[in-house]
Amino acid sequence: MSFFRSSQKRSEGPDPIVEAMRDCPQPMSGAPLPVVLSDDVQLILCYGSQRRAISLGTSIQLVGKDTEFDAVAVATFELYKIYQFGGPNEESLSGHPLYRYGLASGTARTYRVKFSPWIRQLERMNSVHPNHAALNFDELTHYIFTFEDRTFECVARSVSFELTPGSLRSVASEQLERLLT
């Protein structure tokens, strides 16, 4: 996407504003093990949100897909248009084009972007469609979830959350079953 490769400031609309979403489950720091499930209609993101620390002395505790969490967050995106999952990780987050607009507050957080250049780009691409309606893009929100090793971003109408105890494998399996029915 050209929006992510461009370092030049665009004069098309106001500067983006990246705001922390404090009203939703935050990813736990360390290894929240995010899992993305989607088809052409639905998009679901699962990640570890809460886990009681278990004292093992000086031992390092390994966390995997079968590790039990006190709360696995399930984010379900309504009418998603696009998503990406991958870089940057926490060491390279400062290279993200939205870093200077509020993404600088770090990883293990969730954000929403006002005046998103990504949404503007999607609207421009769609403008060649014979039934294009720019107002439809005003209903969309750009979401960013930063994890230690990955970043998840999507554009959707809305997102809802639920918390459930269990492992990422068990919760993601339940969500995949829901996705396929």
| Residue 60, domain extent | 2-180
CA-to-CA separations, 73 to 54, 86, 126, 139, 143, in angstroms, rounded: 20, 19, 32, 24, 15
Domain count, the chain: 1
Residue 24 has pLDDT above 80, yes or no: yes
For the chain, the average pLDDT equals 89
The more confident residue out of 133 and 107 is 133
Residue 54 has pLDDT above 60, yes or no: no
Predicted local distance difference test score (pLDDT) of residue 5: 46
pLDDT interval class at 103 (50, 70, 90): very high
Q: Please give the Cα distance from 114 to 14 (Å, whole number).
A: 9
Q: Which helix (H) or strand (E) holds 46?
A: strand 43-50
HSE at residue 82, side-chain half, CA atoms within 13 A, is 12
Residue 112 has pLDDT above 90, yes or no: yes
pLDDT in tens, 116-127: 999 999 999 999
Predicted local distance difference test score (pLDDT) of residue 61: 63
The more confident residue out of 135 and 101 is 101
Residue 36 has pLDDT above 50, yes or no: yes
Burial of 97 per CB tally in 10 Å (0-12, 13-18, 19+): middle
Q: Are 103 and 93 in contact (CB under 8 A)?
A: yes
Query: Stretch 164-174: mean pLDDT, rounded?
Result: 96
Predicted local distance difference test score (pLDDT) of residue 50: 87
Q: What is the pTM of this model?
A: 0.88
